[in-house]
Amino acid sequence: MSCTNTMTIKKSAYKTLSAFSYYSALTGLCLSLSGCGMFFGDDGIFRNRENDYQKAQTVPPLVLPTGMKSEAIGELYPIPHLKPSDMVIEGKPSFQTPRPLPISSNLQEENVKIQRVGGVSWVLLNVAPGDVWPRVRQFLNSNDLTLARADVARGILETNWMQFKTDLSTFDRYRIQIDQGVQPETTEIHITHMRVPASQRATDDLLWPQASTNAEREKWLMDELAATLASDIDGTGTSMLAQAIGDDVKASFATLNNEPILEINLDRTRTLATLGYSAKQDGFTTFDTDNNAGLFYVDYLNPEDAKPGFFARMFGAKEDKVPTTKYTLADLKPHILTGEAFLNAPRSNLKQEKALKGVSGYLIVVVTNEQTHRVFIRDPYGKRIDTNQARELLITLRKNLI
């Protein structure tokens, strides 16, 4: 090959490379002139869709023809309404996304257990009502307890009248109420037993008593049901229609006059009992209690801060620190705000208080409003504490309610 040909080949390669660079540069220039909107803008191929849910429209509920029953129709995946009280409010509304509730520590101990408070018993499970409904029905079928009524929307199962072989002098039946527990993703099962003499006509229209006619018969069925559910806790099966059971929240956060509170929709006996239990868990120490007045005198120390330090452990300290006080509720009551003064209480400032020198801790105050019990966290004088601090303490209380 001659030198001339070699030079010619090199020159052709150079021209080809120059053409490629030219068209690449031209393409890049076109893309730059069009901007990123071609790919990532509002009309781009890869546009941001994270706010599309805000454009969603509500679909009208299904309307059945006249004469058809609608009990089985309901929301499978209802979206709870987010209230302003779900946010931390300090002076004005805040639109900060609320943190999810922590998992209850007392629910991690066992999967199925029987709770008893004030003479009332129920079965507690760590699963949602939709998972419990088919298991309870299976239990009834396995034990030849036929159903007279099944109301999935309300979580109610009622058996037909029956006679026990050991006692033919009576007719008996059971009502099983499946309901949402106090904690999320938990279920409560309440059982009511009813008995009438065999000489009386047992009809389905007889009104159910407020409490079981025979506590022993109630206990028998509850024990049998709990044992069966405990042995089959990993069983499969979910009722989509039963997802709506227990829409009424039994414990929720609210705000009253820009102060975070906890609202509990249980009877007063159970409300005080469950608060008394929670006020001894996860860093809480209970000094004194007055159930009649709805008062708990407590203190709180973060469990991590309660642990003895390195040098304390070096010198033999093994037990966690425990808050103490020299005061009782009898000492505090003359100085605690009540009535309207309590609801409109000013901010706490212990340095300016003259009475109860060196007092520490908090008051858990239960104020009943119709069927709802409002729970406040206040200082020992019944005055408001920091909003965020009050909410954090309420969250810890809420986590351990049973």
pLDDT in tens, 44-86: 666 777 777 777 787 777 777 887 766 555 555 556 565 555 5
Average the pLDDT over 274-295 and give the result.
Answer: 95
Average the pLDDT over 147-166 and give the result.
Answer: 91
Return the closest-CA partner of residue 70 out of 188, 152, 143, 169.
152
Query: Using one digit for the tens of pLDDT, what is the confidence trace for 102-124?
Result: 555 555 544 889 999 878 999 99
Q: 216 is in which domain, residue-wise? A: 118-244
Residues 6 or more apart in contact with residue 293 via CB below 8 angstroms: 329, 333
Q: What is the pLDDT of residue 348?
A: 95
Confidence category of residue 303, pLDDT binned at 50, 70, 90: confident
Count of alpha carbons within 13 Å of 155, Cβ hemisphere only? 24
Residues 6 or more apart in contact with residue 106 via CB below 8 angstroms: 277, 281, 400, 402
Last residue of a domain, one of 181, 213, 244: 244
- The C-alpha atoms of residue 115 and residue 183 are separated, in whole angstroms, by 14
pTM of the model: 0.70
Any domain includes 19:
yes
Contact (Cβ atoms closer than 8 angstroms) between residue 300 and residue 285: yes
Cα–chain-centroid distance for residue 191? 23
Task: Give the number of other CB atoms < 10 A from CB of residue 274.
Answer: 21
Confidence category of residue 91, pLDDT binned at 50, 70, 90: very low
Contact (Cβ atoms closer than 8 angstroms) between residue 63 and residue 55: no
Contact (Cβ atoms closer than 8 angstroms) between residue 73 and residue 64: yes
Same domain, 217 and 258: no
Same domain, 223 and 267: no
Same domain, 240 and 255: no
Task: Give the number of other CB atoms < 10 A from CB of residue 94.
Answer: 12
Any domain includes 140:
yes
Same domain, 126 and 166: yes
Confidence category of residue 188, pLDDT binned at 50, 70, 90: very high
Q: Tokens in use for 356?
A: 């109860």
Q: What is the pLDDT of residue 55?
A: 79
Same domain, 264 and 393: yes
Any domain includes 349:
yes
The better pLDDT of the pair 213, 57 is held by: 213
Average the pLDDT over 280-305 and give the result.
Answer: 93
**Letter string b/e over residues 238-266, b meaning 16 or more CB atoms within 10 A of that residue's CB:** ebeebbbbbeeebbbbbbeeebbbbbbeb
Any domain includes 101:
no
Confidence category of residue 237, pLDDT binned at 50, 70, 90: low
Query: Using one digit for the tens of pLDDT, what is the confidence trace for 311-370?
Result: 555 555 556 678 899 999 999 999 999 999 999 999 999 999 999 999 999 999 999 988
Task: Name the region of 274 (left: φ>0; alpha: ψ -120 to 50; beta: rest).
Answer: alpha
Same domain, 286 and 383: yes
Please determine, for residue 9, whether its predicted confidence score (pLDDT) is greater than 60.
Answer: no
Q: What is the pLDDT of residue 93?
A: 46
How many structural domains compose the chain? 3
Same domain, 208 and 295: no
Same domain, 280 and 394: yes
Radius of gyration of the chain from its Cα atoms, rounded to whole angstroms:
33
Last residue of a domain, one of 220, 244, 268: 244
Any domain includes 178:
yes
Any domain includes 99:
no
Same domain, 262 and 394: yes
Return the closest-CA partner of residue 283 out of 377, 396, 385.
396
Residue matched to tokens 């209970």: 286
Q: What is the pLDDT of residue 308?
A: 57
